[in-house]
Structure 1
Amino acid sequence: MRYLYLALAVWGTIHPMSWFIGWFNANSWDVMAMVDAWHANQATSGLVWDLTIAAVALTVWVIAESVRTRNWAGLIAIPATFGIGVSCGLPLYLFLRSRADT
């Protein structure tokens, strides 16, 4: 399972980032324009809020578990979640967390 989590973290980095980079290349790397695009309609706004709430929940869980288990490496999943996305942060955290199980 551990390497499946790692593969998902890599996929969760490459696949979304390829879309983001393509969008940025077409839109002059304007971050605020991307934020506007995320809120182009109610469906995309709903998705943004869904992912934001999931990212916050993941962050709370990562912090709570890292403090409890003293597995500080798991904290790397927080910037990965907010810098790349939940699609990277969650499987990355599961990969780092599973290290203690091996």
Structure 2
Amino acid sequence: MRFVFLALAIWGAIHPMYYFLQWFRENGFDLYAMTQAWHANAASSGLVWDLTIAAIALTLWIMAEVISRRAWINLIAIPATFCIGVSCGLPLYLFLRSRY
């Protein structure tokens, strides 16, 4: 399972980033405009909030386990979650966590 999590983390980094980079090529590097596009309608706003809440829950879980296990390298999953997405951060954390 460990390498399935790694494969999902890589896929979760590459696939969403393809769309983000495509959007930046078309609209320039404007984070404000991107966040406005995320809230273009109720469905996309719901998805944004769903992923935001999942990212916060994942972050709290990572921090709690890092404090108890002292596996500091696992903290790398937090910036992966917020800079790339839950689709990368969660499987990356599961990959890192599964080594012990």
TM-score normalized by the length of structure 2: 0.99
Deviation at 1:29, TM superposition (A): 1.4
Q: Where do 1:1-102 residues align within 5 Å? A: 1-100=1-100
RMSD of aligned residue pairs (Cα, Å): 0.5
- Uncovered stretches (5+) of structure 2, i.e. residues with no partner: none
Q: Residues of 2 paired with 1:99 and 1:73: CA distance?
A: 12
Q: Residues of 2 paired with 1:79 and 1:28: CA distance?
A: 23
Deviation at 1:98, TM superposition (A): 0.6
What amino acid does structure 1 have at the position aligned with 2:28?
S
Q: Residues of 2 paired with 1:44 and 1:55: CA distance?
A: 16
TM-score normalized by the length of structure 1: 0.97
Question: Percent of aligned positions with the same letter in both sequences?
Answer: 68
Q: Residues of 1 paired with 2:30 and 2:55: CA distance?
A: 23
- Uncovered stretches (5+) of structure 1, i.e. residues with no partner: none
Deviation at 1:28, TM superposition (A): 1.1
Give the secondary-structure state (helix, strand or coil) at the position aligned to 1:99: coil
Q: Residues of 2 paired with 1:62 and 1:28: CA distance?
A: 33
Q: Residues of 1 paired with 2:81 and 2:46: CA distance?
A: 18
Deviation at 1:59, TM superposition (A): 0.1
Q: Residues of 2 paired with 1:19 and 1:73: CA distance?
A: 28
> Which 4+ stretches in 1 moved above 2 angstroms?
none
Deviation at 1:30, TM superposition (A): 1.0
What is the total number of aligned residue pairs between the two structures?
100
